[in-house]
Structure 1
Amino acid sequence: MGDDRCVAGTRGKQTVRDMILSLAAIGVVVAAVYFFIPHNDSPSAEQKAVQTVDYRVEVATARRAAPYPVAVPKGLPESWRATSVSYKASNDGKGGAWHLGMLDPEQEYAAIEQSDAPAAKFIKDVTLGAEKAEGKQAVGGAKWDRYKGEKYNALVREEPGVTTVVTGTAPYGRLAELAASLEAKKG
């Protein structure tokens, strides 16, 4: 009976020893993967991780399809990068929506949103619920309404037949810079 306890005690020590050796082997493999697989932790890596899109084809399509002049930036520095683009037509010819998402030079998000849908609902949707704020923003020769929200700020211009919203996480100055670059054309 004494021998059984001795064997059981040895087995317990071997099991713990084997487990520690297994964990050490796994640790060596993980370290090798980390050191030998290329990765980039530099600040510019985050900037390069977001895909830049070419929006020329979508602009031409939207300008032909939209019942309003579609606005796109003209003359912005290359440090502004387009990251998303879409035009969604509506079934009844009203409420078509143009979207062009961008990153500004500080990697803040800014988007151009346009639609001929009812303005109040459209503004609320694209600004993620931002509320009209005090004051106006001078953009070129026009005054745009300011909106402030938890996630997005926005500059809004309502014209007959179209509402243009420049919105995002970028500060008002950057949103104004984007708004000032807009050129609206019908295709």
Structure 2
Amino acid sequence: MRGRQTVRDMVLSLAVIGILVGAIYIFIPHDEGAEAARSAVKRVDYRVELITARRTAPYAVAAPEGLPKTWRATSVSYKASDDGKGGAWHLGMLDPEQQYAAVEQSDALPRKFIKEVTLGATKVEGKQAVGSKKWDRYQGDKYRALVREESGVTTVVTGTAPYGRLADLAAALVAKKT
């Protein structure tokens, strides 16, 4: 019977396979809700990196203290520079509404560092009150940011979160050197 297969036979075979795949898809559970999105990004423990950064960095490294458990750390890094200038601390987080917010710090040249970590955001009118300090506001196509330049270090709280959430994160920052 070789050579007697027809296009009709091939189409019928594909239809049977399609029905089987559809049935499998329907009966296998899959979660596409908010909890699935929440569990897709894993929480990281940043304590070891924070201790290392605070020992190594030439500036007091800032990290949040007292934030609610609904904030989740998702990424962390500290990159020291060879010349003792330009070391960079990064702590990425998701806020309670699953918006990204990050703490970025460096002793590098402020203008270049701010442009890099805010993805090109520019300074806008107005300041953001965070506790007793005023932070500069930046707005970009992707990120908004709060920026504070101090002697020897620039701290940027940036991300897709609204300014109020960024201010919550900035208010929780405690800078220490060990």
Q: CA deviation at 1:38?
A: 3.8
Q: TM-score, length-normalised on structure 2?
A: 0.95
Cα deviation, 1:15-73, whole Å, max 9, x if unaligned, reads 12212212112213322442344421122111111111000001001101100000000
Distance 1:26 1:67 in 2: 63
TM-score by length of 1: 0.90
Q: What do residues 61-112 of structure 1 show as CA deviations (whole Å, max 9, x unaligned)?
A: 1101100000000000000000000000111110000000000000000000
Which of 61, 75, 80 matches 1:70?
A: 61
Gaps in structure 1 of 5+ consecutive residues: 1-11
Distance, in Å, in 2 between the alignment partners of 1:63 and 1:38 is 46
Tell me, yes or no, if structure 1 residue 88 matches structure 2 residue 82. no
**Residue in 1 aligned with 2:156?**
165
**Identity across matched positions, percent:** 74
The one-letter amino acid of 1:49's match is A
Kindly report which structure 2 residues correspond to 1:99-114, keeping only aligned pairs within 5 A, or say none: 99-114=90-105
Give SS of 1:21's match: helix
What code does the residue aligned with 2:42 have?
Q
Give, in whole Å, the separation in 2 of the partners of 1:38 and 1:65. 48
CA distance in 2, matches of 1:38, 1:84: 30
Match of 1:41 among 1, 26, 32: 32
- Total equivalences in the alignment: 177
Partner of 2:13: 22
| Unpaired runs of at least 5, structure 2 | none
Q: Which runs of 4+ in 1 moved over 4 A?
A: none
**Which position in structure 2 is the counterpart of 1:139?**
130
| Structure showing the higher helix proportion among its residues | 1
